[in-house]
């Protein structure tokens, strides 16, 4: 599996996504540091929410093969800046999480990811497993 960095807001589903993709019991810690687990790099939500941490995201991404911007479908806003993906010299995927939640709006979540400069977008549910196999195939290329 490719070394993958996940970038997203607090409670967007990054940790649940890592659990589903690895099949292992991953528990994130709420710390202001990168968390490395089985080929995945989980970034703290503060790295996205505060522009002063963008250099840290860019530097850490240099060791990764692929980046995933995680956007929860139950959010009505996004912290992802416009054209954010253009800052990276790696392939950037978008993942819409929580598509099984009753208040989910996958169309809006996709729009947030497109505005951030993402072209390849996958919709997943960590609860039902929907879309996980397809995403796992992409990460195993």
Residues forming a β-bridge with 123: 96
Per-residue model confidence as pLDDT tens digits over 77-117: 999 999 999 999 999 999 999 999 999 999 999 999 999 99
Pairing of strands 66-72, 40-42: unpaired
Query: What are the structural domains of the chain?
Result: 4-139 (3.40.50.300)
139 pLDDT more than 80: yes
Alpha-carbon distance values, 121 to 1, 30, 69, 128 (Å): 18, 27, 9, 18
pLDDT in the model for residue 31? 65
pTM: 0.95
Greatest CA separation found in the chain? 37
């Amino acid at each position: 599996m490719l070394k993958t960095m996940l970038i997203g807001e607090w409670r967007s589903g990054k940790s649940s996504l890592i659990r589903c993709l690895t099949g292992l019991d991953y528990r994130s810690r709420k710390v202001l540091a990168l968390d490395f687990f089985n080929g995945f790099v989980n970034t703290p939500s503060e790295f996205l929410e505060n522009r002063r941490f963008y250099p840290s995201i860019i530097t850490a991404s240099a060791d990764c093969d692929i980046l995933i911007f995680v956007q929860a479908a139950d959010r009505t806003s996004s912290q992802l800046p416009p054209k954010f993906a253009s800052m990276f010299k790696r392939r950037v995927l978008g993942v819409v999480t929580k598509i099984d939640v009753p208040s989910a709006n996958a169309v809006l979540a996709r729009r947030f990811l497109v505005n951030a400069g993402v072209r390849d977008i996958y919709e997943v549910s960590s609860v039902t497993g929907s879309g996980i196999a397809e995403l796992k195939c992409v990460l195993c290329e």
